[in-house]
Structure 1
């Protein structure tokens, strides 16, 4: 649902102060007035469809590849565990949980600066530099001989990967709100493909490379998965467009103007100024905290699944080490379809909350089945259902965050801080999976947390509708007219012509 209302729209949110088919704020550097720009129809003409297609072709494959390789870097630990990492380094279940969690701790330290600095550093430099650095450190894992060394390495990888977590923020520079969830799904769904690819790669490594040149299978896994981002990082540096204001090649002048029009329609100003006051305002915004709870509840479950799916398949379902690597491919393949499907439905229906609630319910069904069933085939199906419900919520929540927090500082800070709190909760999720082989404590607590996520999503959906109704009633008050003289980058979602997506 578009965040600036259109007077001719048949949707639920309509701004009385808007003129037909217009009224999107330029919100550039002027403090004295907002510059209104005419926005092409949401379905676009031929020229806009061409711009959108070219933007998709330039950005989505590269951004998806970045996220794909980042997800490989996260989930390789689970595959390395099955390949003998915990035996060779004498890791207890608690130690392994700590290694999985310390990776997240790196995120907590650098998530906010890594997101806020995206415009200052430049997306192409920031993303490619992070890829090269985490690849180098992943290769260094080959030489790890102790629990302490592995903890240090995983922490550093987490720190560096925090600098590529602005993917939804970057996409919001280029796409309309009603296009964002589907594009985010294309990027984020690569996490499922990465899990599948990791399973296939680990299967091949264990089968053919284990013991070759004196390296164990888990050493080969880390070496191969470290070299790939090092090489690909230079491709990203050369080809990824930086921002709409700095498009270098591939678009005509008219197309560049269309890109700017579309970017302004999503409340991007091109100004990377960081406004600390808006960060403080964000922290007292109940909508921010409700969105955070939605994401935290889901992350508790989704992040743990990422690290423990191979172990669940191997330890509680009776599959061999090699079989469990292959079976994890099935789980992630189902998840890939679910992410694309849920986000496509969300964009088509122009709603986030109800879709998140449905996905939460689906994941709850899967977790209940995992707790109750004992047969391997039934538990495998339950694992697929759980992951299919949990993973789409991640991108839907981030999209919801981007559309309801306009302006660079407000949007970047919201995306970063929601991730910070969610990753902190994810540490607790990892720590709860400490009772092999069935991991009932972790599965039970995940059930409670993802149910909480769905309930709060419903409450937030209801609250945003109330706020939109209040904004409509106050369109012509003196306070609203004063706020209209300020840019949306200064006042964020308090601007009277901004309406919430629900």
Structure 2
């Protein structure tokens, strides 16, 4: 029997075995959800907390203490994103070589050290240096985490897990306000400001978790220490049915990386990621500033910035659960974007403090629901491995490019209305609706073409499908 035949026979056995051991697969999924997913999610929780806590520090007097202007503050935020964007792709491409169980914890420890030292900066230039190295160490966290999750979950099971993962951003937004309100009371201890203690304590905690993560995270489903052998076999079999096993054997080459740039749906998604990035990071960096502009003062600024994030987590989880149930992404992205449109429109059209605060809820809810849905849609429709990883990374490069834009949208001299920044975000959230419709039409057209050509243009083999990835006529795009 030749090698090709043996591969096909082996694959056929795997495909038949998957449904026969459904109980073992369910047990594996349960353990992944309660051990693996929380461990990876907590990394992103700390990631977002440590990157956005500068917004809480600003509200606590960072600018005054360091004699920094609003423009210099925006420059410091922008400096974070430059190395962040530069390192995203090269570091993420190392995930298979190094192993996500090594790469991710290493980056966690490094950015924890940088966050800690932010508490010891004494001037504007020191802050710039700290933010630069924060960008260097955090850049690959999000795309690497998405690629990591996509190797443990089937495409149709991924959205609700990504929603739980992204709920870390909502919880970080909420928790940062609560934590900041507590830590800022340490002002004066050892002669240090409250915002300094904020950076130091959060940075030390991040370092500790980074070392713990080395022991928790598995390299692959076959090496998950918390799964029994039958559970590993069932999980691998289910993943093989969802994606041809040959696709994960793809070698890292320049052609494998550049291949994704010919995919129209990748570029469409990148435009969506840019818009949602501006919305997401504008909320993270400036929600406390907007709450203060509405009229709340002191610790209340930190506390009143919490409820919008709690509501956004619930909305995102509900949207993504329905998205997985119906196997649809685009309609739910449009729904979330429309919620943000309403929120920005309310903020522009009213001067009532209660209405402005309600508008902030809708803005945050929409932004934080769009992000996990988009982050699921991109890997759902890209294969094989390095085409998917590169596409994921380019999506987050676009997200962080939107983050750069967000740092310039809410200068202090435009408070409390922030008309320019809110108008830009209103336009970007509306644009997401347009790009989503365009992407759905393109994917639907491709699915119809493939349905007509299926079984005619190419041999139905795992090896062939694995090489072609999402270009195979057997690959069905998720709308």
TM-score, structure 2 length as denominator? 0.93
Consecutive unaligned residues in structure 1, runs of 5 or more: 1-28
Question: Match for 2:109 among 110, 114, 132?
Answer: 132
8 A Cα contact 2:18 2:237, kept in partner? no
Q: 1:171-228 CA distances to partner (integer Å, 9 max, x unpaired)?
A: 111111111000111111011111111101111122x211111000110000011011
Using the alignment, how far apart are the partners of 1:380 and 1:89 within structure 2? 30
Question: Match for 2:220 among 243, 252, 260?
Answer: 243
1:283 partner SS: helix
Using the alignment, how far apart are the partners of 1:301 and 1:40 within structure 2? 45
2:158 is the alignment partner of 1:188: no
Deviates more, 1:211-220 or 1:420-429: 420-429
2:331 is the alignment partner of 1:346: no
Q: How does 1:46-445 map onto structure 2 within 5 Å? A: 46-165=23-142, 166-206=144-184, 208-247=185-224, 249-267=225-243, 269-271=247-249, 273-314=251-292, 316-434=293-411, 435-445=414-424
Partner residue in 2 for 1:21: none
Q: Do the aligned partners of residues 452 and 484 (structure 1) sit closer, same or farther apart at CA in structure 2, a change above 3 Å counting? A: same
8 A Cα contact 1:120 1:272, kept in partner? no
Q: Do the aligned partners of residues 346 and 215 (structure 1) sit closer, same or farther apart at CA in structure 2, a change above 3 Å counting? A: same
Using the alignment, how far apart are the partners of 1:232 and 1:342 within structure 2? 30
8 A Cα contact 2:22 2:234, kept in partner? no
1:103 partner SS: helix
Using the alignment, how far apart are the partners of 2:298 and 2:417 within structure 1? 16
Partner residue in 2 for 1:458: 437
Q: Do the aligned partners of residues 235 and 485 (structure 1) sit closer, same or farther apart at CA in structure 2, a change above 3 Å counting? A: closer
8 A Cα contact 1:335 1:388, kept in partner? yes
Aligned residues: 469
Using the alignment, how far apart are the partners of 2:379 and 2:19 within structure 1? 18
1:273 partner SS: coil
2:394 partner SS: helix
Using the alignment, how far apart are the partners of 1:339 and 1:416 within structure 2? 22
CA shift at 1:93, angstroms?
1.5
Using the alignment, how far apart are the partners of 1:100 and 1:63 within structure 2? 25
Using the alignment, how far apart are the partners of 1:308 and 1:51 within structure 2? 41
8 A Cα contact 1:296 1:453, kept in partner? no
8 A Cα contact 1:292 1:421, kept in partner? yes
* Higher helix fraction (1 or 2): 2
Q: Do the aligned partners of residues 285 and 351 (structure 1) sit closer, same or farther apart at CA in structure 2, a change above 3 Å counting? A: same
Q: 1:252-292 CA distances to partner (integer Å, 9 max, x unpaired)?
A: 22111112112323425443621322332311221111111
Using the alignment, how far apart are the partners of 1:273 and 1:266 within structure 2? 20
CA shift at 1:33, angstroms?
6.5
What is the aligned-residue RMSD (CA, Å)?
2.0
